[in-house]
Amino acid sequence: MGKFKFKTNINCNSCKTAIRPFLDNEPRISKWDVNLDSQQKILTVESEDIGSKEVIELVTSAGYRIEEL
């Protein structure tokens, strides 16, 4: 299992709701969360057989900025 951390601009619960279908519908992602209290709005993703590049593509396709930490 891989665990990735990303800096994002997902900064509120509405943003989390907007990104949810993109991440929940990816079967290789087992768990994800965004720390809204963090200044960098850290997205943590636990996954099976998915790379950080693919996570970045998912989040970008939802209209948010993301970069790997």
pLDDT tens figures, 14-65: 999 999 999 999 999 999 999 999 999 999 999 988 999 999 999 999 999 9
**Distance between CA atoms of residues 49 and 54, nearest Å:** 10
Question: Is 90 exceeded by the pLDDT of residue 10?
Answer: yes
Please report the pLDDT score of residue 56 as a whole number: 96
| Element holding 51 (H helix, E strand) | none
> Structural domain tally of the chain?
1
Rg (CA), the chain: 11
Q: What is the model's pLDDT at position 6?
A: 97
Q: Residue with structure tokens 């209209």?
A: 63
* DSSP at 12: S
Q: Is 39 helix (H, G, I), strand (E, B) or coil?
A: coil
Q: Which residue range is the domain that position 23 belongs to?
A: 2-68
Query: According to the model, what pLDDT value does residue 48 have?
Result: 86
Q: What CATH number corresponds to the domain at position 42?
A: 3.30.70.100
